[in-house]
Amino acid sequence: MIRADVRDGVHLISHAHVYCYVIEDDDGVTLVNAGLPTMWTMLLRLLDDRGRRPEDVKALALTHGHFDHAGFALRAHRRKKLNQRSRTFWWARRPGPAGARS
């Protein structure tokens, strides 16, 4: 399911209780989680409906590495060359306990 504008500039792609948030701003598109691999085509459809292209994706944030959050991340990486060095592909990390090293 694709739900455009759940909030201003925030869109939701969901399938089987798995979610990918698509956030638009003037600079491009940011994805939060990459859902399931099969959700890639839903992302392309949403981008097209919004007048955007995959090249407009400037960042992909994964909250953690489970399959239902990282589904199409590799495909996005290969297509867009997203990587950690360019800071366009990154893991959101919880802060550790006080005094712990990260």
Query: What tens digit of pLDDT does each residue of 74-97 get?
Result: 787 777 655 444 344 555 554 545
Q: In CATH, which of 3.40.50.620, 3.60.15.10, 3.40.630.30, 3.40.50.2000 is domain 2-91?
A: 3.60.15.10
Give me 25's structure tokens.
């701003």
Q: Nearest-CA neighbor of 82 among 29, 41, 44? A: 29
Query: What tens digit of pLDDT does each residue of 11-51 get?
Result: 999 999 999 999 999 989 999 988 899 999 999 999 999 99
Query: Percent of the chain beyond pLDDT 70?
Result: 77
Confidence (pTM):
0.75
d(CA 27, CA 31): 13
| Domain ranges for the chain | 2-91
